[in-house]
Structure 1
């Protein structure tokens, strides 16, 4: 078997032969993406349970966007559309087959960087097709194609990985990683950084961890371990969700079937926070490696999660909902040339706004296929609104709108309509439903939501009794054929 160093050197050599001219004036990009991390599962953002010194350090150094949302999903595997949106700078109804494939008409962020002289490298999770991965990245190692590491195959302890295949076919059998998944990805990133820093061209390293996504039944031999009895339960913990939201029987909810006790949730959260801390440790290793290259002051750093997770909040365990804990994500940007350090903004934004933002920061053209909004003005201190509201969608059963201090959610489960209205400023944990007490505001938000559905070319019409066809929950075969872009 070829060594990692040999494989990386070979793929980087191919990059050097691509004819790109050195662009040393452009900053490097280190993109750190985690999987299923709650937006508040970070000590520096107020979580008293968890130990995250390395992520805390990034927050102290950069600009944190405290009201960042993923746009939603049409199926239960939320990371697939989320990551496709992130890579294309487009919304949930603007990606193909819920993100399963990224067609050539959509220029990915690393593809655009690569076309502008960047060395592009990836390690870790890629939830779309192989062809789009190879269009995006000129090099890679310890690549994971898929959604999660299966329980029955030893989970994160035995990740099924691939070496970079320059043909893009990936026909050779995957190999089993000898270390915990996060360490395998960090190792590959560290090796790349040591090589890329010596090149004339700037680099974009995409380090895409699969943690803290479950399985979380086996923790690695590094990182902080937590005792269940010491875990403080979230204030919005409920044994079960108060009504049928259409996804109470999905896999994520059955990991620990409801009704759940506080003691059960403490055990589950102890494992979850263990995963958060272990990936924080590996992020620290990558940052140390960047420091050792001398390139830290020339590197834009991004940290984010693809989506959140309930973990007992509002009576849910998974992420198939439009509550803040599931559609809200942590996101921060460090631009070494900026004078803003430890700054937080509550401006509304989508995760996929990172694409045009990074293009703006490094000074390259934003492709016409991108529909996201650049957040660079916020990094420069503007107080102007870049987005008035946020539209959210899940399956054909849940839609929501966030505007100012309020969030409106409407559900249609087999013809049964449920409405919720939350004052996020006074009730950030979404515990007090104001829909009945404030019917006029709920109606006004519904009207705004209907307009957003039309603008987004949503296949649902929430002004009709069944929203879509006969009201049945959309199937995988149906949704992958809804939005095709070729």
Structure 2
């Protein structure tokens, strides 16, 4: 009996040793997610005047995707479903509601790695429910987005990690500078009105706060477990605030406007009046667009400097050697393109085209680019395969590792995009079809149905990436439009985009198409 017991103990020790070695060799993961950061908001990707040396360095030391996309949103706050898709590896039609709440049956990115031998850590913005936040991470640094918002990067309500997962409203605080110039906490009070009114004199910028927290964690981390970090910046989301030294880099009068700049959008796209579009007056004169773009570039360059600190911390701590870094934006942003300011659309740069980079010492094909059509919800299954972690059944995205490793050129041959009940897009090959249905004013009048308007656009996205030249009305493209319309309807059916009332929407797109 004693011999049998010794054998069991020996086998257990061997199993533990193998498990420990496998766990030790697993890479750390740092997922950096930025807010309203379009593809061309990275210099090395879009070639625009914005300065992003640290993100450019990630590209030089990694594999970047030229066709990374957000599938879409059924909410004007597109960052909510975008982050839910990232966290769950599920497409926009598979989310519960708009992703405000992530149900327990949908395993999250942090939760998956937490359950597979990782220390799971969050820093920054969380846009979902407290329950999914709590179950996704072992611990966290400063967190924002849990209910109190002052629209101000220099006066951002924050929460410390709550082991019980309550994150109560009354626990929110601001970081300010005291008389000695030291950063101190203070509770919110009734005099804290919505901004933007803060400057670098009032307190640290959100990008500085989150980068400092992430860097401290990385430098101090001594556990044997590998770590997973979700570093979610709020920048470059409006208000487009940055310290003066970064604003000085971009004199508005010297800003060159992109090819798709317009003073006004040529038609009602269904959602022309909302907070993002109220950030600047109509028409968007060149002067207005230049100022908005200058501010956008300034906050991006400031963000880039903070990302540089995190990369430096990885290298200083020695963790860089065994860390996979993923960098992605959550949506595009118009900032004057097509006469728009926000991201409530499905044009590429204005709404759905995002930067996506896999970088670090573990990437061998450094500085290379991939043209495969991919979504942000493909990141999670990619990380699962990269780390030999079992992918849960709830994850439906496609792993990009075969594309990264050049085993295949693509994982899909089209992309499909949706914005609320107003807009749908279908991209395949060189062409992108966008269809608009403005049915929000639908009503009965004299017994007749008033169904608003319909508009079609067709772009050769390869030759015309800024989507300037609409080809839909030319006779020679009639067959292309016909074929793409048919295929778009088929893909909509496959994806489940056929409900007349999605999450409280009064009218469905296909009901009136």
TM-score normalized with structure 2 length:
0.84
Matched, 1:327 2:352: yes
SS state of the match for residue 392, structure 1?
Answer: strand
Q: Which of 262, 265, 273 is equivalent to 2:286?
A: 262
- Change in 2 beyond 3 A, CA 1:342/1:147: farther
> What CA deviation, in whole Å up to 9, does each residue of 1:132-166 have, x standing for no partner?
01111111011012599533xxx000110100001
Q: Which of 161, 165, 176 is equivalent to 1:168?
A: 165
Q: Do the aligned partners of 2:61 and 2:360 also contact (CA within 8 Å) in 1?
A: no
CA distance in 2: counterparts of 1:185 and 1:174, whole angstroms: 16
SS state of the match for residue 68, structure 1?
Answer: strand
> What CA deviation, in whole Å up to 9, does each residue of 1:411-452 have, x standing for no partner?
100231111111011111111111121121111111111111
Q: Which of 213, 217, 223 is equivalent to 1:188?
A: 213
CA distance in 2: counterparts of 1:385 and 1:32, whole angstroms: 24
Q: Which of 479, 485, 488 is equivalent to 1:446?
A: 485
Q: Paired residue for 2:429?
A: 404
Give the superposition deviation at 1:454: 0.9
CA distance in 2: counterparts of 1:223 and 1:296, whole angstroms: 28
CA distance in 2: counterparts of 1:334 and 1:142, whole angstroms: 25
Matched, 1:422 2:455: no
Q: Paired residue for 1:69?
A: 69
- Change in 2 beyond 3 A, CA 1:90/1:148: farther
Q: What aligned pairs does 1:71-220 form with structure 2 within 5 A after superposition?
A: 71-146=71-146, 149-151=149-151, 155-171=152-168, 172-178=170-176, 179-196=204-221, 198-216=222-240, 218-220=241-243
Q: Paired residue for 2:60?
A: 60
Give the superposition deviation at 1:338: 3.2
> What CA deviation, in whole Å up to 9, does each residue of 1:37-81 have, x standing for no partner?
110111212434211110010011100001011110001000000
Give the superposition deviation at 1:195: 2.3
Q: Which of 454, 463, 471 is equivalent to 1:434?
A: 471
Q: Paired residue for 1:245?
A: 269
- Change in 2 beyond 3 A, CA 1:203/1:224: farther
SS state of the match for residue 443, structure 1?
Answer: helix
SS state of the match for residue 123, structure 1?
Answer: strand
Give the superposition deviation at 1:177: 2.5
Q: Do the aligned partners of 1:91 and 1:352 also contact (CA within 8 Å) in 2?
A: yes
Give the superposition deviation at 1:293: 0.6
Give the superposition deviation at 1:395: 0.3
CA distance in 2: counterparts of 1:127 and 1:116, whole angstroms: 24
CA distance in 1: counterparts of 2:389 and 2:381, whole angstroms: 9
CA distance in 2: counterparts of 1:147 and 1:59, whole angstroms: 35
CA distance in 2: counterparts of 1:450 and 1:62, whole angstroms: 37
Q: Paired residue for 1:458?
A: 497
Matched, 1:312 2:310: no
Q: Do the aligned partners of 1:148 and 1:213 also contact (CA within 8 Å) in 2?
A: no
Q: Which runs of 5+ in 2 are unaligned?
A: 1-18, 177-203, 440-450, 507-513
Q: Paired residue for 1:280?
A: 304
CA distance in 2: counterparts of 1:186 and 1:223, whole angstroms: 17
Q: Do the aligned partners of 2:247 and 2:295 also contact (CA within 8 Å) in 1?
A: no
Give the superposition deviation at 1:224: 5.8
Q: Paired residue for 1:362?
A: 387
CA distance in 2: counterparts of 1:204 and 1:291, whole angstroms: 16
Q: Which of 324, 329, 332 is equivalent to 1:300?
A: 324
CA distance in 2: counterparts of 1:147 and 1:248, whole angstroms: 26
- Change in 2 beyond 3 A, CA 1:148/1:209: farther
Q: Do the aligned partners of 2:324 and 2:359 also contact (CA within 8 Å) in 1?
A: yes
CA distance in 1: counterparts of 2:123 and 2:319, whole angstroms: 19
Q: Which of 274, 290, 314 is equivalent to 2:314?
A: 290
CA distance in 2: counterparts of 1:336 and 1:272, whole angstroms: 30
Give the superposition deviation at 1:221: 5.1
Q: Do the aligned partners of 1:301 and 1:334 also contact (CA within 8 Å) in 2?
A: yes
State how many pairs are aligned. Answer: 443
Give the superposition deviation at 1:21: 5.8
CA distance in 1: counterparts of 2:130 and 2:335, whole angstroms: 32
CA distance in 1: counterparts of 2:83 and 2:495, whole angstroms: 19
Q: Paired residue for 1:345?
A: 370
Aligned-pair Cα RMSD in Å: 1.7
Q: Do the aligned partners of 1:69 and 1:351 also contact (CA within 8 Å) in 2?
A: yes
Q: Which has the larger radius of gyration?
A: 2
> What CA deviation, in whole Å up to 9, does each residue of 1:309-344 have, x standing for no partner?
011111111101110011010000025333201101
Q: Do the aligned partners of 1:223 and 1:278 also contact (CA within 8 Å) in 2?
A: yes
Q: Do the aligned partners of 1:150 and 1:215 also contact (CA within 8 Å) in 2?
A: no
Q: Do the aligned partners of 2:40 and 2:48 also contact (CA within 8 Å) in 1?
A: no
